[in-house]
Structure 1
Amino acid sequence: MGNRDAVALDDPVGESLRGHHAHLARRFGRAATYLPGVATFSAVTADPDPEEWADLARLLGPGEFADMFSCPATPPSDWEPVFVLEGRQMVWTGGSRPHDAEVDTGVIELGADSVPEMLDLVARAQPGPFRPRTHELGTFLGVRDNGTLVAMAGERLRPPGWTEISAVCTAPEARGRGHAARLVGALVARIVARGERPFLHVAETNTGAIALYERLGFETRKHVTFRGFRTP
């Protein structure tokens, strides 16, 4: 994979908000963020000046959460740090098609009518941020056991040529059955089929997930730091 092919992954939030997710964006000046209820991620340009940070502060409002995702730019000193999380960005390098053609067995698509169940699963499995309208970012797939949603995964950021796999989670009582691998495999197959490449982000401390993704054909592209702030 050439660096040119992956340059959009250096600013996945901004590239998504300017492109595939423009219909889900709010913007002021050069700053942008997602609509409330969709995602908390915000974006500024590669080398933002004080005016651009002021634009983002006006866009979000006073005392509001600014989730800067993997953006390395530092906001002004009156922005209060909320969290710092070390992680990595991984890209799928498994070739032209997923290894297991049967990964889709038992996997179902989840729509707006499944949101209450999805939010309940997220509350129990804690995969990371997921909101009532997050499912609008892309396709979400799930696995049911006796009618109960026990595992899911979906598409999130969409920089040009790429689709991020996210919200990979399994209910505590259903772990160890291969649900995550099947769901990620099914999403990889769909993403590759439409001519895009899968990528994902994972916390550095989540060694089990990193090992799973490596088995499924993902490799680390770069290490990133996720950061959140509160506006003045």
Structure 2
Amino acid sequence: MPAEPTSADWDDLARLLGRGALADLFTAPVTPPADWRNVFDMAGFQMVLSRPTWTPAAQGTAADRGASNTTGRGAASALNREAASAIGREADSQAECATERRAERGTGSATECGADPTAHRANSVADGTTDRGADPTTLRPNRETDGTTDRTTDSEAEPRADRAKDRGAGRRADPTLDRGADFAVAELGRADVPDMLALIDATRPGPFWPRTIELGAFYGVRDNGALLTMAGERLRPPGWTEISSVCTAPQARGRGLAAQVVRAAADRITARGERPFLHVVDTNLDAIRLYERLGFVVRTRVRFHGYRVP
């Protein structure tokens, strides 16, 4: 869409997508006509790979490496400090609640802690997709039940990292990222699309359709034939490639599999001399932790929004 779309532009988009289809406007700063029903509207972050915590298959050009260390450094540092603070507050809240529960055991009462990290909004800032800490005044998602509207599960739920390590200046590689090393990462093709669509339907990481695989390389991990995790390429502005559709089957989470496929995608991107980036919603703290442990940093806040074509 152009920066200032006309009614004719919206009519063209409606004809292209078809009545009842989802128009994923992603981060475009445009507002559709009043009869386009909002499906989701949520805050998130765009993160870029700055300093990988693994040894990439290719490092790119010297100029590209220099850009990685300088582009948006000041803004990203401030946003990531806010993000670390937000996750620290969430962990403090959990620890306090756990202490209260232990104290209440003798009284026969029990207090349930809000253990789901996606239930906490980060008051700091990392597409599709994670700068931590979004503006708490932004709209929360108005989800539907189809697989195109829920961006809150971009990644598997990874074990919590030690907060001091996460916030330390000299970040070290997290050994939990290698838990999936025993599983072979393979490039996915057209024959894998039915299994990819089934995994998307089970995890709902965001828009993915039968031809999405044509946008770039996708990687996955199988166990006894079952596709457990995947990630691949989508948006490709000059010099950059987005890592998207990061998802892991519920029964396979916590094994480091998402880290494996994200690294495979990032290696391929850097081998072309490009830089990887991704998006994440601000409530998906587990995904944010994972991406930060891999070396991604917050670049900017973004807004995800989509509408149903009348």
TM exceeding 0.5: yes
- 6, 31, 35: which one aligns with 1:74: 31
Which of 110, 118, 121 matches 2:188?
110
- Evaluate the alpha carbon distance shift between residue 215 and residue 124 of structure 1 in structure 2; reply closer, same or farther with a 3 A threshold: same
- Name 2:170's counterpart in structure 1: none
What is the match of residue 210 of structure 1? 288
**Higher Rg:** 2
State the TM-score, normalized to the length of structure 2: 0.56
Deviations 1:100-148 (A, max 9, x none): 3588962111101111111222222222222211111111111111232
Q: Which has the higher contact order (CA 8 A, sep 6+)?
A: 2
Query: 2:16 — aligned with what?
Result: 59
CA displacement, residues 30-52 of structure 1 (integer Å, 9 cap, x when unaligned): xxxxxxxxxxxxxx112223332
Question: What's the counterpart of residue 258 of structure 2?
Answer: 180
* Number of aligned residues: 187
* Secondary structure, counterpart of 1:72 in structure 2: coil
Query: What letter is aligned with 2:55?
Result: D
1:7-54 CA-to-partner distances (Å, cap 9, x unmatched) read: xxxxxxxxxxxxxxxxxxxxxxxxxxxxxxxxxxxxx11222333233
- Indicate the SS of the match to 2:290: helix
* TM-score (normalised: structure 1): 0.73
Relative to its length, the structure with more helix (as a share) is 2
Identity %: 59
Which residues of 2 match residues 22-61 of structure 1 at below 5 A? 44-61=1-18
Mark the runs of 5 or more structure 1 residues left unpaired by the alignment: 1-43
Rounded to whole Å, the distance in 2 between the matches of 1:176 and 1:154 is 20
How far residue 184 of structure 1 moved from its aligned partner, in angstroms, is: 0.7
Extract unaligned runs of 5+ from structure 2.
Answer: 58-177
- Secondary structure of 1:188's match? helix
Structure 1 residue 64: deviation in Å? 3.7
Paired AA for residue 224 in structure 1: V
CA distance in 1, matches of 2:56, 2:25: 37
> Which moves more between the two structures, 202-211 or 142-151?
142-151
Q: Which of these residues, 150, 172, 177, is aligned with residue 228 of structure 2?
A: 150
Q: Against the structure 1 CA distance between its residues 209 and 46, is the aligned structure 2 distance closer, same or farther, given a 3 Å change threshold?
A: same
Separation in 2, partners of 1:61, 1:55: 10
Report the more deviating stretch, 140-149 or 194-203. 140-149
Structure with more of its chain in strand, by fraction: 1
Cα deviation digits, residues 173-204 of structure 1 (max 9, x gap) = 21111111111111111100001110111111
The whole-number CA distance in structure 2 between the counterparts of 1:109 and 1:77 is 42
- Equivalent in 143, 157, 160 of residue 238 of structure 2: 160
Contact 1:100 1:185 in 2 (8 A): no
Per-residue deviation, residues 201-222 of structure 1 (Å, max 9, x unmatched): 1111111001111111111111
Alpha-carbon distance change, 57 to 194 in structure 1, aligned in 2, over 3 angstroms: same
